[in-house]
């Protein structure tokens, strides 16, 4: 087993002394600027060469909201190698808050106890400038939930300020090649805010999660057709991660055939399938009493794998990305879910040429208009303080409330 060094910050201030537990168990003191930081590091140099010679260079993966329910499922998938690959060592850098410091230490302890060979380092902290240092990937899950009586515009502002800070921190200390996936809601506009506050990182590197919506759409098409879900391909979620999202059955396929030729009930597809996908989260909450955490974590893993594993020929996946230069006439300067494909290098391209019929065109216009209005509501956070906020319809998904 590799030698380990562990340090925990005392909870008395930024310049508190750290207690460092060496491999032999001796306690020594060390000064640090860190506050509430637990650091665990295993050196690959101490591993047998036959185990590590095929491994890639270690990547730094940031997770915010790391003490939350989604992260509780996701972190162990990341550490196991099931997301980035069985030859990809990983350093987890976990961002929490003053309130979650002790819970975050508990998470780090569980990761220790799970004995994942590919997990080379765990760092926890409450300062984005520290935790985001040299990040290769940033999975921004943490966001404030919507409270009683809170208007959507208020939530956009409150969470927007979080993503201003995190975007600026990424801009200062993350690698310029960092890939950013925003999960905290409203995720499209939060991703936009982070993107516009991190000009040193290419806009193309920012994503908002719509993979859970895609997975839900595939599930419903499989159930209706009586086919296994692996036969459902070419499913797109267009637009915003809200109830205006557009699950595209027009271009979807089931068993290689157009979904509309397998499920010929067009009324079902428009009037039942579409709202079923749009409101699935709320239905789950009514049954389960809590928002989806495990399936969200799975969809985050799926979203990452879609970028680090080549897309199967002829297929695509959904992710919300910057609309600059898009082939569908969507207003530029938004973060809008579209069909994408990847060669597996972390990059992607928007897939052109999908059929946009009158039904889809009208639905895309509605979700685009909503994102334009959301952008106006956070204008003061992205360099446009004179923009007016005019959101009139509450389309937030259940779980944001």
Residue among 73, 207, 241, 380 flagged as catalytic: 241
Decide if 73 is catalytic.
no
- How far, in Å, CA of 217 to CA of 205, rounded? 25
Q: Which residues are catalytically annotated?
A: 241
């Amino acid at each position: 087993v590799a030698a380990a060094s562990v340090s925990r910050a005392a909870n008395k201030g930024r310049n508190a002394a750290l207690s460092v537990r060496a491999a032999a168990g001796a306690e020594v003191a060390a000064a640090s600027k860190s506050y509430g930081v637990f650091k665990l590091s295993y050196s690959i140099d101490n591993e047998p060469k036959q185990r590590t010679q095929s491994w890639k260079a270690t990547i730094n993966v940031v997770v915010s909201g790391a003490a939350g329910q989604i992260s509780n499922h996701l972190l162990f998938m990341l550490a196991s190698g099931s997301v980035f690959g069985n030859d990809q060592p990983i350093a987890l850098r976990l961002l929490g808050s003053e309130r979650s410091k002790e819970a975050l230490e508990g998470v780090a302890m569980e990761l220790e106890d799970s004995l994942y060979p590919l997990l080379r380092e765990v760092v926890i902290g409450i300062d984005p400038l520290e935790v985001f240092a040299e990040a290769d990937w940033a999975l921004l899950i943490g966001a404030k939930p919507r409270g009683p009586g809170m208007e959507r515009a208020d939530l956009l502002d409150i969470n927007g300020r979080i993503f201003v800070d995190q975007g600026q921190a990424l801009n200062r200390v993350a690698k310029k090649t960092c890939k950013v996936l925003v999960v905290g809601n409203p995720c499209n506009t939060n991703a936009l805010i982070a993107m516009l506050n991190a000009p040193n990182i290419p806009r193309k590197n920012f994503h908002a999660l719509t993979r859970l919506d895609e997975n839900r759409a595939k599930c419903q098409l499989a159930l209706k057709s009586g086919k296994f879900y692996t036969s459902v391909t070419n499913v797109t979620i267009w637009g915003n991660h809200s109830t205006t999202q557009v699950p595209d059955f027009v271009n979807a396929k089931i068993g290689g055939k157009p979904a509309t030729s397998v499920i010929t009930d067009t009324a079902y597809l428009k009037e039942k399938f579409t709202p079923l996908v749009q409101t699935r989260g709320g239905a789950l909450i009514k049954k389960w009493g809590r928002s989806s955490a495990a399936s969200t974590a799975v969809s985050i893993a799926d979203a990452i794998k879609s970028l680090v594993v080549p897309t199967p020929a002829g297929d695509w996946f959904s992710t919300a990305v910057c609309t600059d230069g898009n082939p569908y006439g969507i207003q530029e300067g938004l973060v809008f879910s579209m069909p994408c494909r990847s060669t597996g290098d972390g990059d992607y391209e928007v897939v052109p040429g999908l059929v946009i019929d009158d039904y889809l065109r009208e639905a895309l216009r509605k979700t685009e208009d909503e994102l334009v209005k959301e952008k106006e509501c956070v204008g003061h956070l992205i360099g446009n303080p004179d923009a007016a906020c005019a959101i009139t319809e509450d389309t937030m998904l259940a779980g944001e409330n």
